Amino acid sequence: YKTRMPKSWPKSAGEALPSLRGGFTQIFKTAHMPMDAKIGYWIWLLGCAGAIVAWCFAVIAILLGILISPLVLIGSGMMTLFGEFRWGVIIAYFATMILQLVMILLQLALTLKLREGSEWARAGLTAVTLLTVVYGIILTVTGLESGGADTIAVAIISILLLAFFWMPQANAWFIRTTDEADRASGMNPSMHS
């Protein structure tokens, strides 16, 4: 088992974005991946899609709740009992929702890049997931989000699901794919060792 930190990182946004040459259906083509990486890819892809849908439903539910009843605003702490808006809470809530969406979209982009065997995307997904876990725990501890046991369960599951990309067969594939890409672009793969 050989592991290393990626030596080459994307030099532009275009390099960092997943390649969809051949159309949108490329995201479903995984025959070239080893089984453990393929399983991890599908779980992460479906998980990101589910998280985006859940995020949309949460925003819609809050907006509908606000339109239907101001009690939602009072219950969420965005308004006092006397009808005064608590702008600090409102700003914190929307900033949290936007940051959560950015993290989900970043995880989705990194997941799609993993299909290409990108070693830096694997390291990036690991780092972003760990940051997301810490962020979720901080939100729960500070009371900005009610999660408790759910937050801890999601954190543990997320970290365990990263293991698919670090298993020996997947690890060797990421290293080999990165070295082949480096050779094709003229970089010396021995610099990565």
Distance, CA of 109 to CA of 179 (rounded, Å): 22
Distance, CA of 163 to CA of 155 (rounded, Å): 13
pLDDT in tens, 51-96: 999 999 888 877 877 777 777 777 777 778 887 878 887 788 888 8
pLDDT in tens, 11-60: 888 888 888 777 888 889 999 999 999 999 999 999 999 999 999 988 88
With b for 16 or more beta-carbon neighbours within 10 A and e for fewer, the 141-160 pattern comes to eeeebebeeebeebbeebee
CA-nearest of 178, 168, 162 to 2 is: 168
